[in-house]
Amino acid sequence: MSAKLMIDRSHGQHLFREMLRIRRFEAKCMELYQAQTIRGFLHLYDGQEAVAVGIMQALDERDAVVATYRDHGHAIARGLGMGPIMAEMYGKLEGCSRGRGGSMHLFDRASRFLGGNAIVGGGLPLAVGTAMADQQLHPGAATVCFFGEGAAGEGEFHESMNLAALWKLPVLFVCENNLYAMGVPLEVAEADTEIIHKAKGYNMPGEQVDGMNPVAVEVAARRAVESIRAGNGPWFLECRTYRFRAHSMFDAQQYRTKEEVAHWKERDPIVRMQAWLLEAHLMTPAELDEIEAAVDTEVAAAVAFAEAGTWESVDELERFVTMDEVPS
């Protein structure tokens, strides 16, 4: 695993643990979904964990995050508790969005997590706006905006990139290029399959990174955020990644071969990180067992939290359609 970043024992294990937390949390979600305990759409992030985890290393509490409908990984990596996220999947009052958002709309004011957005490209203009506000009110703060490569086909992508570059707004655009927009392969959807080229079209610095490697993502994110904090305007990262599972739960994946999926699974960011940490003696087998046990305990606690949660009274149905005041 190549890295210009100094990876010590604790940081290496941290990256591994964060990715594993997402993976195990989602494995439980899948199980609960099959048992019909949680419903709606469920878009799993597995395969892409290195992106969310790598990016979040470069952020602190002043920054904002705009996510997509595949947002469990973003939310967990950003520090939302697994309990409130799981309760949200259940639709319980204790959910991070009070059970009104579900899997695709995780929100958390405390961590400036501005929600999963279920409209492809819909989050980009929003990120431009929070960056406008930060530029004026909180100089140095950055907004990170995640989106898939499918968003590059939307007008909002181009409008947002242009305005952010024009006004030198503090936004980090993170394209998670997992090669498929639902079932549409990259080469069927894009005239130029190098998404990174689009940054040049807006006079925006950017780079393409290995999205299966959290260290590579972190290195790139740190460089980007440093530049953004210095007031140099937006930055674009294209993270080449892959989702191991289907787009959603009703997807037979007829658009890709088993061989292709198997090929990418060889690059599984968690498996490779684990092997590398063990090999480099940055993690002992005993520590690995401890991490796995702790993650499993955390996931079980999240399920227990969600199970013990309450159903909001239907009397509250129309609450928050409009607000009585702006929350501070």
Query: Which of 62, 109, 263, 265 contacts other proteins by CB under 8 A?
Result: 109
Query: Which of 21, 43, 105, 243 contacts other proteins by CB under 8 A?
Result: 105
Query: Which of 87, 114, 151, 302 contacts other proteins by CB under 8 A?
Result: 114
Stretch that binds other proteins, among 2-10, 106-114, 180-188, 285-293 (CB under 8 A): 106-114
Could you give the C-alpha distances from 291 to 77, 88, 144, 191, in angstroms and in order?
A: 16, 25, 28, 44
Q: Is 126 in the site for other proteins (CB under 8 A)?
A: yes
Interior/surface letters 161-186, b for 16+ CB within 10 angstroms, e for the rest:
bebbbeeebbbbbbbbbbbbbeebeb
- Please identify, using beta-carbon distances, which residue of 76 and 114 lies nearer to other proteins: 114
Q: How many C-alpha atoms does 226 have within 13 Å on its Cβ side?
A: 7
Q: Minimum CB separation from other proteins for residue 321, in Å?
A: 5
Query: Which of 27, 31, 166, 293 contacts other proteins by CB under 8 A?
Result: 166
d(CA 272, CA 47) in angstroms, rounded, equals 12
d(CA 297, CA 263) in angstroms, rounded, equals 31
Q: Is 313 in the site for other proteins (CB under 8 A)?
A: no
d(CA 125, CA 128) in angstroms, rounded, equals 5
Secondary structure element (H or E) that encloses residue 302, with its range: helix 285-307
Q: Minimum CB separation from other proteins for residue 48, in Å?
A: 23
Q: Is 271 in the site for other proteins (CB under 8 A)?
A: no
Instruction: Please report how the helices 9-34 and 269-279 are oriented relative to each other, as an axis angle in degrees rounded to 10.
Output: 150
Per the CB < 8 A criterion, the answer to whether 227 and 235 are in contact is yes
Read off the DSSP letter of residue 204. -
Residues that contact other proteins, how many (by CB under 8 A): 47
Q: Minimum CB separation from other proteins for residue 179, in Å?
A: 25
Stretch that binds other proteins, among 42-50, 127-135, 228-236, 249-257 (CB under 8 A): 127-135
Residues binding other proteins (CB under 8 A) = 64, 95-101, 105, 107-109, 114-115, 117, 119, 122, 124-134, 136-137, 143, 155-156, 159-160, 162-163, 166, 319-327
